[in-house]
């Protein structure tokens, strides 16, 4: 066992799973082993965990629902942090909701709707955590996290716990300051508004029906693979290029939604990367548009 893993075990920072396959933690069902997956259950454990990793100079990364991530076939060197059940809570206070970083965005949006609170309907189909949604400024249906975000408690790479407001988060399209400043969202506060329960329920039902009809949710995938270029949609370009159904090994451009790549059963990370590169090359050649990946490609290459 590596020295840093032993040190984490002695510090009781949560469950420690050495040599853990990352395919278990991603919606693509792809990924080699991490040196260790650590599951803290409290903010204090998370802070201590980060402090030790910082002192030992061990690289680390966070995984939420694994819905926007492609892990290499060789896995991840260093630590992967997965927030445990103790960091999945939420509390509603009037029109505000405070949620832990590991809380499900879908569950939170459903609970808000049942309370007659509007503002989170867009998130009812985002299969991620609160922390991941804040990190990515996740969005759909013309809205995103930045429109409801109030503040967050963030554990910095030194283990320090700080509070950031919306301005400090520097939100942009699928971006926040956490892309440049390594940190983990421990808790976030969202400002919602009072609304009509029936209207909220109707909107969420319509979004759900639309997803079922247009997205390959029955197959392992990671949502939209590429960001929409200004004034256009990546799916439209990929479909116009005739790439629906195009395959590389076990990875295939979905016949249902051209900006989704599905794992047909035995896809590897290299299959997905090869397919992504082919799509980018074809779109650049046909339309002079450079598609930028929305998924994160991580791990040893």
The answer to whether 241 and 282 are in contact (CB under 8 A) is yes
For 213, list phi and psi in degrees, rounded to 5.
Answer: -80, -25
Give the active site residue among 72, 109, 176, 224: 224
Residues 6+ positions from 144 with CB-CB distance below 8 Å: 122, 137, 138, 171
Residue 56 to residue 124: CA distance in whole angstroms? 39
Q: How many CB atoms lie within 10 A of CB 110?
A: 18
Give the active site residue among 72, 121, 174, 176: 174
- Told to judge if 239 belongs to the known catalytic residues of this protein, a careful annotator would answer no
Residue 179 to residue 181: CA distance in whole angstroms? 6
Residue 131 to residue 46: CA distance in whole angstroms? 13
The answer to whether 20 and 158 are in contact (CB under 8 A) is no
- Told to judge if 174 belongs to the known catalytic residues of this protein, a careful annotator would answer yes
The answer to whether 41 and 84 are in contact (CB under 8 A) is yes
- Told to judge if 294 belongs to the known catalytic residues of this protein, a careful annotator would answer yes
DSSP state letter for 23: G
Active site residues: 174, 224, 294
């Amino acid at each position: 066992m590596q020295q840093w893993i032993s040190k984490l075990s002695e510090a009781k920072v949560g469950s420690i799973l050495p040599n853990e396959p990352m395919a278990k933690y991603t919606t693509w069902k792809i990924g080699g082993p991490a040196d260790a997956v650590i599951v803290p259950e409290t903010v204090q454990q998370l802070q201590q965990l980060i402090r030790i990793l910082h002192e030992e100079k061990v690289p680390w990364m966070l995984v939420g629902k694994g819905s926007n991530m492609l892990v290499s076939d060789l896995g991840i060197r260093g630590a992967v942090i997965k927030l445990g059940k103790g960091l999945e809570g939420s509390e509603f206070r009037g029109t505000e909701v405070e949620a832990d970083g590991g809380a499900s965005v879908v569950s939170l949006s459903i609970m808000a709707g049942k309370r007659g609170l509007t503002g989170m309907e867009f998130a009812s189909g985002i299969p991620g955590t609160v922390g991941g949604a804040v990190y990515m400024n996740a969005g759909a249906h013309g809205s995103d996290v930045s429109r409801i975000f109030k503040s967050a408690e963030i554990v910095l790479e030194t283990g320090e716990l700080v509070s950031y407001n919306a301005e400090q988060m520097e939100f942009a399209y699928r971006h926040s300051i956490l892309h440049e400043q390594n940190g983990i969202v421990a808790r976030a506060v969202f400002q919602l508004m009072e609304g009509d329960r029936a209207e909220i329920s109707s909107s969420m039902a319509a979004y759900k029906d639309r997803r079922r009809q247009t997205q390959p949710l029955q197959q392992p995938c990671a949502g939209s693979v590429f960001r929409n270029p200004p004034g256009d949609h990546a799916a439209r370009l990929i479909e116009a290029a005739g790439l629906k159904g195009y395959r590389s090994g076990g990875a295939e451009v979905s016949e249902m939604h051209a900006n989704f790549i599905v794992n047909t059963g035995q896809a590897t990370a290299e299959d997905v990367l090869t397919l992504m590169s082919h799509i980018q090359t074809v779109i650049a050649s046909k339309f002079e548009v450079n598609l930028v990946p929305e998924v994160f490609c991580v791990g040893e290459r």
